[in-house]
Structure formats: C-alpha cells, structure tokens
Chains A and B, each alone.
Chain A
Amino acid sequence: MTATINKIAIASAAALAVLAASSSGALAQKKYDTGATDTEIKIGNIMPYSGPASAYGVIGKTEAAYFKKINDAGGINGRKINFISYDDGYSPPKTVEQARKLVESDEVLFVFNSLGTPPNSAIQKYMNSKKVPQLFVATGATKWNDPKNFPWTMGWQPNYQSEAQIYAKYILKNKPDAKIAVLYQNDDYGKDYLKGLKDGLGAKAASMIVAEESYETTEPSIDNHLVKLKATGADIFVDITTPKFAAQAIKKLSEIEWKPLHFLNNVAASVGSVIKPAGFENAQGIISAAYLKDVSDPQWANDPGMKEFLAFMAKDFPEGDKNDASVIVGYGVTQTLIQVLKQCGDNLTRENVMKQAASLKDFRTEMLLPGIKINTSATDFAPISQLQLQRFKGEKWELFGDVVSGDVGG
C-alpha cells in the first residue's frame, strides 16, 4: 500500500517538475514582483520637502524631472517609470508611515534614494523584513554598507568615514608631526567624519588631535569656536561643516590670521555656494576631496558630461538651480538607477533589482570626476568609494594625486 502511494508520489512529483520546467521556460524572459508590469515600474521615494532639511527636497524634484525625461523618450525597456515621492519632513515616525504607504498601499517595486540618516535608520529594519529594496539611500553614513545584516539596503555616495580616512592618510604621509584641530557639526554626519579621521590616524590620533570643537546647526555663527581652536596652536584644521558654516570659517580664519593647513569636507566644497562668498583670496591652498564635477568650476566648461547635464537642466528642469550640488547628486543617482533597471531586463523582481544593483562594474555617470567608477558586489554595497584630493588655487579646484579609494563597511 505504502509502496503504491510512494510510486504515485514520485510520478506526480516528476510530472510537476516537468510542468514547472516547461512553464519556467516559457516565462524565462519576464518575471515580476509587486510594482512592475509589462508597461510600468513603480518606484517609491521619501524626501524632506518640508521641515528643517527641506533644502534637500530638490533632489527628489531633480529625480522626478529625470524620470519624466526618460518616460518621454519611451521609458526603460518599454516600461514607463511611475515615480511616487512623499514628504516626511525629516521626521522619522513620518518616514515610517510614508514607507509603509509606499510598500503596502501604493505597492512599489522598491524605495529609491530616501533621504537622511535618521529617516533611513527608522525604516531600515522594516524594509529588510519586508524584503523590499531600500536602494541608493541619500546619506553618507557608513552603516549602509552592511550587506550581511541588511541585504536590502544600499547607499550611493562615498561615505563620510572613507573621505575622512583619505585626509588622515594624507596627513600621516605629509605632515606626520602636525597638531590637528577639528571643528565638527554635532550630529551623525559630523561624528561619522570624526570617527573616520580618528580611525585613519590610528594610534597617533590621541597625540595628533589637540582640539575638538562641535557646533549646533542652530548657532548663528561659529566664530568663537574658531578663536578657541586657534589658541591651541594647531597647524592643521579639519573643517567638518556644512556650506553656510564653511563659508564663515574660511572668512574668519583669514580675519584672525590663523593659517593652518585647512582640510574642508566635500559636503562644503562647492565653489559657487561656499568659496566664492567667502572670498577666493581667503581660500587659497585649502585641501578637499571630490567625486563629482563642480558646475561653477570653469575647467569643465567644455566637458561633454557637463554639457549633457546642462542641457538636461535647461530643457527638463529649468526651475532647478544648476549650481546646487544636490541637483547633481539627484542627476547622478538617477542615472545609476537607470543602469540597474536596464541590467534587470525583463526580470523585475525585488531580488533581481538588488542583485543587479550589487553587480555594477566600472559604471560611470559622466558627472563623476574622470577616473572614478561605480563598482558593487555581493559583499560591497558602497557604490562610490573613490575620491580625489584637490587643492584650491586661483578660482578653482586643482585635482592632484591619484584617485584614492577607501572602502569602509558599516
């Protein structure tokens, strides 16, 4: 009796296997998860259009403009992008609500480029438990490169710690006996940079860093911190500040006649919004690191990638400010996503989206500096991990040295 049942079971299993094989053969070209069909790909996004970080909302607007341009040109592999972007006001509980709305109510294929460290931290566990990609998050925190624990979350921009480590390497090599003064913003971004700097300096961190000062974003001016730092007699100044404060610092340094070697973080390296207002004469010799081309820098005037970007701004996003670094980030990250979707072909499952995002090989969006390439793998969830050092001379940045990479895991 049992033997017969076994035989039947085996036979039916075999039949099922054949059936499965034939049907998967027929469907091999097209596979979809929720949010993707023959005609449409639904992409979710969460941005602070209102609230304290609303200046970054322009990233979402750039992305919407770029997707519109793609759709007008016929979409990706014949599918139109349906880009659904919600406002969270940079408030984590609201981010959770919006993420759940995107996943459970709008049923998007994945969430793309949601902005800010606290908002993304709030939804990371949820996204991973739902197995919905949280792709190319718009924050430089180091913890997004953690494919082992969070296989559905991936960053995009170089993380803060890698950048700070590059400065540390340079300092150790060229000025090993320096006394370093650090000014940082008292939040996750500032602290992440500081950690990278200390890790990079290693055992010498304690003896080399002679002063650490932090400021709050609510302070109107950081002058008193700079005066304090000058008094320590440091000869290197590591400046971990956002644009408004960086411009103040550059100006103030020359006013109080403190002339340390000045390292300025990439966040505030814009010629148009930081250096020019602070005065070119005050900014000579500042060292920074970059990965994107700066629109206000004349050396890219005839660059084809730059021309393409300017054409996009003129035709598809005329209301945007082309000198705003956030716009370039939005442009570059969208191009990266489109590459991922092209690689996905007709297999638009969430698993394949992550798989393709994790197999970018030497991809370039042409707003990246020459020589910088986007590479990811199953164990490397940090798409851009290269930067190049640059020194300010005359009215522009001069790149020097090689492209340096500094992968740091989360």
Chain B
Amino acid sequence: MSAIEETVTEAAAVEAVPKKAMTLGYGTSLAVLVLLIAVPLLVKNFIIFQLTMLLIYAVAVLALNILTGGSGQFSLGQSAFYAVGAYTSAILMEHGGINYALTLPVAGVICFGFGFLFGQPALRLSGVYLALATFALATAMPQLLKLGAFEYWTGGVQGLVVTKPDAPFGLPMSQDMWLYYFTLAISLAIYIFSVNLLRSRSGRAFMAIRDNEIAASAMGIDVALYKTLAFGVSAGITGVAGGLGAIAVQFVAPDSYTIALAISLFLGMVVGGVGWLPGSIVGSAFIIFVPNIAEGISKGLSGAVFGVLLFLVIFLVPHGARQGAIVVQHLIGKLRGN
C-alpha cells in the first residue's frame, strides 16, 4: 500500500464511538417519543406534513449513519437507493395496485439486494475512493430513471403521481395525520432494529472493521461479508425511507433524486453526529428547516446564508448534535449534584 493511500484512509477514518454512547437513555427516549406522538394533535396539516418528511429523512440519515458511523464506509450514493425505493413503491402502487404498506418491505428488500451487490465492487475501495464510486452511482441514477426502456413503468421525465392513502378502519383523522403516525411507527421500528443491530455480534463486527480492518480480520471477522452487509442494510433502510417519501410527496420524478439529495443526507449525518443514531433526527431537521430559514433571511443569497449557518455549526459543534447532547447531560448532572 502506498503512503498516499494510507494517509487518505487514515484521514477519512471515523472517530470511534463506544456503543453505549450510540443511543439515548430510556427516559430521554420516552420523552422524545411522547413529544413526537403529541405534537401532530396540536398543529396544522402543513406542519404535520413537514414532520412526516422530518421522520422520513431521519430514517435515511440513520441508514447512512449505520454505514458510516457503524462500519466506517462512506457513501455519497444514498440518493440512488432512496430513488430505487421510491420508484419501487410508486410503481407497485400505481401499476400493480398493491397496498402502500406492503410496498415498503418490497422496496426494502430490493434496495438491500441492490446495496449488497453494489457493496461487492466497493469492497476494493476505501475512504475517498469509495465516496467517489458511490458519487458516480448518485449522478447516474436520475438519467437511468429517464431511460426510454423503462419509460412505461417510470413515467420517464414526467414522473409518476402516487395516490395518498386514507386512514384505515374509518379512523377519524386526516390523511396527513394518518401518514405521520404510520411513518412514526415504521421509523420507530427501524430505530429499534438499528440500535439492536449495532449492539449485536454483527454490530460489533461493523465497529471492529471501522476501528481497524486488519485487526478485525485477525480476530476472525469476515471483513468482506460484513462490509457488504453494512451496505445492504443501509441501502435497504434508505429504500424504505424512499418508499415512504414517495407516498408522502405523492410524486416521483428523476429530478427529485439528484446528487443534491445525497449530499443533504450526508450533511444531515454530520450535523447530527456521526455514529450517534438519535442525532439522525436532528440532522434531518437541519436539512429540512435550515434552507427555509436561510431563504427567509435572504432570497437571492439563500445558498450563501445556508453555507454560513452550516459553517457555524461545524465550527461551534464539530461533533454535531451528539456534542450538544453531552453538554446538556453535563449541565443536568451538575444541577442534580447541587
């Protein structure tokens, strides 16, 4: 291995996070959950829609967090997996007439397969090289979706309109509210699954690979298998998020899944704190709400304002929301001590 390659991989390595620090305590988790359940009862449908998108992007950021924070691999291609999930759900619903809830596992499985296969060549790459390979995937995806060969299914450049589901069993709630709780239930299931995954044998294998690949393989971990597995799991979860996104937005089109989305998700992960799963929701909030705030400050310079805000975050809390949470924890501990 050349010296240059070594430095590159080293620079890209993720700071080790002990597994206990990857989650919140039970009390805090419950408080957040109660908040997530209660808020929609008090706000307008538009806000509920935004909160639904918040959860969906949080799931996608979480998926990236498992890959990067867990197994130490980079991906700028999450938008491709998100797109595949979205299109799978949309095509099954509109062409196949299949119930929206049933399309999500299909989207997850297809994306898992896709991610697992993509993980095979990616094995030979690491650090920035892997990031570039996934970047290529993200750039190619919108054009693949436009291909004439698939046009009957994908709707080509015009995209596909998806029908929004009504609340089942005649429940007296709006479509938006139902979709929010539906999304919340799925996000919660995925969160619990992810936390358990990272605490399991496989999760320890991911982290061992992240911390030192050679040491991991010396311990008997099948590095190739676990690396591709991490890709598969991450892509599968992203696919479910994509499917949910398609249902919530009611529309899929190639322009929705450009490289900008992949970069947003990456940004969300960094802002939330790499390797800290609860940070995903904070990161998601950042990528949804901060552009709106930036636009409110200056329409012509919204991009620049967003850049300044991002810079401030990275400068002040380089470890993202995790750092914020630790500070708060210390403060509470001090107050209790007094």
B299 at the interface (CB under 8 A from A): yes
From known contacts A87-B295, A96-B249, A97-B50, infer whether A104 and B303 are also in contact, taking CB-CB under 8 Å: no
Query: Do the beta carbons of B249 and A100 come within 8 Å of each other?
Result: no
CB closest chain-A residue, reference B47: A105
Give chain A residues whose Cβ lies under 8 Å from the Cβ of B159. Answer: 92, 118, 121-122
Dominant secondary structure of chain B at its interface with chain A:
helix
With A and B bound together, what is the CA distance between A87 and B258 in angstroms? 17
- Interface assignment of A156: CB less than 8 Å from any CB of chain B: no
CB distance from A378 to the nearest CB of B (A): 24
> Is A332 interfacial (CB-CB < 8 Å)?
no
B251 adjacent to chain A (CB < 8 Å): yes
Interface size bucket, B side? 20 to 34
Q: Which of B47, B158, B255, B303 has most A Cβ within 10 Å?
A: B255
State how many angstroms separate the Cβ of A9 from the closest Cβ of chain B: 30
Determine if A105 and B46 form an interchain contact, defined as CB atoms under 8 angstroms apart.
Answer: yes
Given A89-B260, A121-B158: A104 and B45 within 8 A (CB)?
yes
Q: Is the CB of B302 within 8 A of A87?
A: yes
Q: Does the CB pair A91–B250 fall under 8 Å?
A: no
- 0/1 string, B136-148, CB within 8 A of A gives 1: 0000000100100
What chain A residues lie within 8 Å of B143 (beta carbons)? 216
Cβ of B64 < 8 Å from any Cβ of A? no
User: Given A118-B255, A125-B250, A216-B143, is A93 in contact with B245 using a C-beta cutoff of 8 Å?
Assistant: yes
- Is residue B157 contacting chain A, with contact meaning CB distance below 8 A? yes
Report if A110 contacts B (CB, 8 A). Answer: no
Candidates A49, A104, A117; contact of B299 at CB < 8 Å: A49
Which residues of chain A are near B255, meaning CB under 8 Å? 90-92, 118
Contact A97 B260 (CB under 8 A): no
> How does the 8 Å CB contact mask read for B238-254 relative to A, with 1 for contact and 0 for none?
00000001000111011
Which residues on B sit within 8 Å (CB–CB) of A49?
A: 295, 299-300, 302
Contact status of A100 and B302, CB under 8 A, knowing A121-B159, A121-B253: no
Contacts of A118 in B (CB 8 A): 157-159, 253-256
Contact A191 B253 (CB under 8 A): no
A101 to B250, CA, bound (A): 16
Q: A188: CB under 8 A from chain B?
A: yes
| Across-interface contacts of A93 in B (CB, < 8 A) | 53, 245, 249, 251, 256
Say whether A187 faces chain B, with CB atoms less than 8 Å apart. Answer: yes
Determine whether the beta carbon of B157 is less than 8 Å from that of A191: yes
Known: A90-B255, A122-B249, A126-B250. A100 touches B49 (CB 8 A): yes
Please give 10 more A-B residue pairs, beta carbons under 8 A apart, in addition to A92-B159, A121-B251: A50-B302, A86-B295, A87-B299, A91-B261, A100-B49, A118-B255, A121-B161, A125-B250, A126-B250, A191-B156
Across the A-B interface, the 4 shortest Cβ-Cβ residue pairs: A104-B46, A122-B251, A188-B157, A118-B253
